[in-house]
A and B are shown apart, each in its own frame.
Chain A
Amino acid sequence: MSRVTIYRILVIAAAIGILELLCLIGTIDRITMQAPHLIARDLAAILVAGKLNGAIAKTLTNASVAFVLALTVGIATAVAIHGYRALRETLDPLFATYYAIPVFGFYPLLIILLGLGDAPQIMIAFMLGVVAVIVNTLNGLDRVPNVLKKTARIHGMGRLDLAFTVTLPYAAPHVLTGVKLAVAYSLIGIVGAEFIMSRGGMGYEISFAFTNFDNATMYPLIVLILLVSITANTLLSLWEKMLLTRRGYS
């Protein structure tokens, strides 16, 4: 383990330790927050009892669907528009200002259009993630050296072959940056939408627990969301690191 990794673990452990201490001596009262060890115990209890499994499954499934949609639509769009300069220059301002748009503002409209089921939530999460995938994929595709494309042509590759065997693999580290953002945005989108208006899911359960002063449910669920997001991100970062090491960046 590198020194930096040890420092990072120490920082996190210290933060949890301080929180634990503040809760134990009563600086943070029980109604505001439970001590970290109680949160861990409650989380284990919730998972073992399984009464929130449905909510957890709903959130993670919807986030996965939104993520896969953002990924496939994003990559396909990037590959399709990559070669068209005028089109890209037209779309550039949209991409550049996209994340200034509060997408959640459209949620009521999406509910009207798509109904009160999972669809508008998935749509929100998809809309949040897709442009990050497009922009990062385009960025990677722009960097593919011409000589690699020529090599592919010399070996008889058509446009689709070229994308799958040369340009996308070359752009993979950049695409992965988009993928990491899409994972985060999918979770944000789904949980956020569940918070605002929904009949289930982790966001709904958190907000329900909040209005009922049910800390034994609220904090464990928040921690669970954190764990899911951090785990996904760590795995992707490891993959990214492997790709980059192979290419001589380390």
Chain B
Amino acid sequence: MPDVHVSMRGIEKTFPASGGGREVHALGPIDLELHRGEFFAIVGPSGCGKSTLLELIAGLAEASAGVVQFEGREIRGEIADRVGVVFQEDACFPWLSVAENVAFGLRKANLPAADKARRVDEALGIMGLQDFARHYPAQLSGGMRQRVCIARTLITEPRLILLDEPFGALDQQTRLLMGEEVLRLWRQTKATVFLITHALDEAAMLADRIAVMSARPGRLIDIVETGWPADRDSRIIERVEFGTITSRLWRSLRAESLKAGGRPADRA
């Protein structure tokens, strides 16, 4: 039996009606377990509730029904220790330098200033940002800003890393390379990784297991095990199994994406 790190049972999320609209049933019910140390990816059509699910795990929002547990303790709208999040949107603080942005991760840590500085340097080095420590986010490319956010998360040494389409805004080549970096970090830190993506190839290349979500309200309609070795890198996309995995993901997802796009599946 694998060691369960995060467990979700009967999770649902409904947003109350606002501005004369109807209430939105965004998500669920969902039952899912993340194993300690695994790389888990989730794919699904736009608006199916992926970010909502991530916020429930992070403790940023409360589920309307069901229970989320992290390391055996219930998460209910409060942030658990040692959970790191890299958001879909640019989350750099524009008034802080790169080094200050990364150091923000240690603001609440009870460490001597010298230790903090050393860890900031380390994290900058790992993310290849050492030459940009004194730059401001506005002077960086989108990919580099996302690295800053990853460095800020890493420096807290999270045991669970939640990534919400962290490479969404990047070009294909940069995404593949960033994917390799995330794999490297995952191996180094031995953290559990939960990655949201809309890119099937990214999920297929990075993850041990991939969940496919339905159109809203998001439910899990398939879970694919990739069976990749831990020391994989982007060259894995040349393998035949890679094609098999992506086409299976696409088969599950196609009908759902059409639904999300508002067109009937049979006519497309």
Interface residues of A (CB under 8 A from B): 145, 147-148, 150-151, 153-157, 165-166, 169-170, 172, 243, 246-248
Closest to B153 in A: A154
Chain B residues with Cβ under 8 A from A148's Cβ?
Answer: 91, 93
Q: How far, in angstroms, from A155 to B93 measured CA to CA in the complex?
A: 13
Does B104 have its Cβ within 8 Å of any Cβ on chain A?
Answer: yes
Q: How far, in angstroms, from A172 to B94 measured CA to CA in the complex?
A: 11
Task: Say yes or no: A155-B95 contact (C-beta < 8 A), given A145-B89, A150-B60, A247-B138.
Answer: no
Within 8 A of A (CB), among B76-128: 79, 83-85, 87-91, 93-95, 104-105, 107-108
Contact of B87 among A150, A157, A247, A248 (CB under 8 A): A150
How many residues from B make CB contacts under 8 Å with A? 24
Contact of A147 among B91, B104, B156 (CB under 8 A): B91
Q: Let me know if A247 and B108 touch, CB within 8 A.
A: no
Q: How far, in angstroms, from A233 to B89 measured CA to CA in the complex?
A: 36
- B183: min CB distance to chain A, Å: 23
Q: Let me know if A170 and B104 touch, CB within 8 A.
A: no
Does B132 have its Cβ within 8 Å of any Cβ on chain A?
Answer: no
A-B contact count (CB 8 A): 59
Does B228 have its Cβ within 8 Å of any Cβ on chain A?
Answer: no
Sample of 12 more A-B contacts, CB < 8 Å, known A154-B84, A157-B108, A170-B94: A147-B90, A150-B87, A151-B87, A151-B91, A153-B79, A155-B105, A156-B79, A157-B107, A170-B95, A172-B95, A246-B138, A247-B95
Chain B residues with Cβ under 8 A from A147's Cβ?
Answer: 87-91
Q: How far, in angstroms, from A169 to B107 measured CA to CA in the complex?
A: 16
Closest to A158 in B: B108
Contact of A166 among B88, B93, B137, B138 (CB under 8 A): B93
Closest to A152 in B: B104
Q: Let me know if B108 and A155 touch, CB within 8 A.
A: yes
Q: How far, in angstroms, from A73 to B136 measured CA to CA in the complex?
A: 31
List, sorted by A's number, 8 A–B pairs whose CB atoms are closer than 8 Å.
Answer: A147-B88, A151-B85, A151-B104, A154-B60, A154-B79, A155-B107, A246-B136, A247-B94
Chain A residues with Cβ under 8 A from B95's Cβ?
Answer: 169-170, 172, 243, 246-247
Q: Let me know if A248 and B94 touch, CB within 8 A.
A: yes
Closest to B88 in A: A147
Interface residues of B (CB under 8 A from A): 55, 58, 60, 79, 83-85, 87-91, 93-95, 104-105, 107-108, 136-139, 156
Q: How far, in angstroms, from A21 to B102 measured CA to CA in the complex?
A: 61
- B138: min CB distance to chain A, Å: 3
Closest to B55 in A: A150
Chain B residues with Cβ under 8 A from A150's Cβ?
Answer: 55, 60, 85, 87, 91
Chain B residues with Cβ under 8 A from A151's Cβ?
Answer: 85, 87, 91, 93, 104
Chain A residues with Cβ under 8 A from B89's Cβ?
Answer: 145, 147
Which of A170, A172, A247 has the most B CB atoms < 10 Å from its CB?
A247
Closest to A246 in B: B136
- B164: min CB distance to chain A, Å: 10
Which of A151, A153, A165, A166 has the most B CB atoms < 10 Å from its CB?
A151
- B191: min CB distance to chain A, Å: 15
Q: How far, in angstroms, from A248 to B137 measured CA to CA in the complex?
A: 8
Q: Let me know if B104 and A155 touch, CB within 8 A.
A: yes
Chain A residues with Cβ under 8 A from B108's Cβ?
Answer: 155-157
Chain B residues with Cβ under 8 A from A246's Cβ?
Answer: 94-95, 136, 138
- B107: min CB distance to chain A, Å: 6
- A84: min CB distance to chain B, Å: 17
- A242: min CB distance to chain B, Å: 11
Chain A residues with Cβ under 8 A from B83's Cβ?
Answer: 154
- A249: min CB distance to chain B, Å: 8
Q: How far, in angstroms, from A155 to B91 measured CA to CA in the complex?
A: 13
Q: How far, in angstroms, from A169 to B100 measured CA to CA in the complex?
A: 13
Which of A145, A150, A156, A165 has the most B CB atoms < 10 Å from its CB?
A150
Chain A residues with Cβ under 8 A from B90's Cβ?
Answer: 147
Chain B residues with Cβ under 8 A from A166's Cβ?
Answer: 93
Closest to A156 in B: B108
Contact of A170 among B79, B93, B136 (CB under 8 A): B93
- A4: min CB distance to chain B, Å: 24
Chain A residues with Cβ under 8 A from B137's Cβ?
Answer: 248
Closest to B78 in A: A153
> What 8 A-B pairs are tightest by C-beta distance, nearest first?
A248-B138, A147-B89, A247-B94, A156-B108, A147-B91, A151-B91, A147-B87, A246-B136
Q: How far, in angstroms, from A153 to B58 measured CA to CA in the complex?
A: 10
Q: How far, in angstroms, from A172 to B90 measured CA to CA in the complex?
A: 19
Q: How far, in angstroms, from A15 to B28 measured CA to CA in the complex?
A: 72
